[in-house]
Structure 1
Amino acid sequence: MSTLYDIPLRSLDGSATSLADHRGKAVLVVNVASRCGLTPQYEGLERLQKRYGDRGFTVVGVPCNQFGGQEPGTAEEIETFCSTTYGVTFPMLEKIEVNGPGRHPLYAELTAVADAAGEAGDITWNFEKFLVSADGAVVGRFRPRTEPESDEVTAAIEAQLPA
């Protein structure tokens, strides 16, 4: 049986990676975009990274240009934007598709998980968040307008931090 850890991914710099690199950590996977009304959520995501990073947690950003063309940049432009505008230190993956026939296998798995309202399926917009437990199970889904530092998200993260 394959797991999220088995899905091959590429970092923003093009190097091979996977979520297995974060095995044993709680991971918040977020599809991100640089030109979206929700882009300021990068600030909250980075604060989560700083707050919980040394306790077995990481954010993983996944650029996607499927929503209003709001992530049109190259990998280099995305990296520069994230580091200079928001001081992003968490890992970023290459730009991928999260919906439709070109949906990346990572999102084929993630979108099978329902949110708190019982809704699974397609990503609705940029900054949809999935919480993955330290053993690789998807344990939470938070819609785009849910702020990264909301009580709902932080409580879920704290419940998943390794002991």
Structure 2
Amino acid sequence: MGLLSLIVFSTYRLAMWYGSMLVLEKGYIGGPVMSVIIAFMTGEMSLDVQIFVGFSLFVPSGTTNALVGQSGSGKFTVISLLERFYDHVAREVLIDGVNLNNLQLKWIRNHIGLVSQEPILFTTTIRENIVYGKQGATDEEITAEKTLANARKFIDKLPQGLDTMAGQNL
């Protein structure tokens, strides 16, 4: 177990180091670099492990649903499969009878939302954190997202509003 942990955490360290070098030396933007690192780590953890043997989930079309349960029960894994953070190995994942692999990744991620267990703010402005999932969002969409997150009053009271750096003395 110790050796496995050493390998996993060494891989995380390498990914974080390399990502920071891309940001500092090559001028990459932190958000996309962090997304790649998270996708890499998620993919790494899913290698050669079969999960959800005999699992089936039916969600009626046009409904809004939430997955709830104990930590480690597979909620994030289900959403990760639906949002194609990694692809399924066996069987099929279908949306309205269409294989998930036949749908455009951008369309999937625009229609399926994920609220992570651990909130993460990228080291950029509040505006850029809000539009991270939808580049080119309008001011009306940003306002709607602030309201849905119950953060509109708080953000509007900040000296620079949406242009305040996330996590900056908040």
- Which band: TM-score by shorter chain? under 0.3
Tell me the TM-score normalized by structure 1.
0.25
> Which structure's residues are more often helix, by fraction?
2
The higher-RCO structure (CA 8 Å, 6+ apart) is 1
- Structure whose alpha-carbon radius of gyration is higher: 2
Q: Which structure carries more strand by proportion? A: 1
Tell me the TM-score normalized by structure 2.
Answer: 0.24
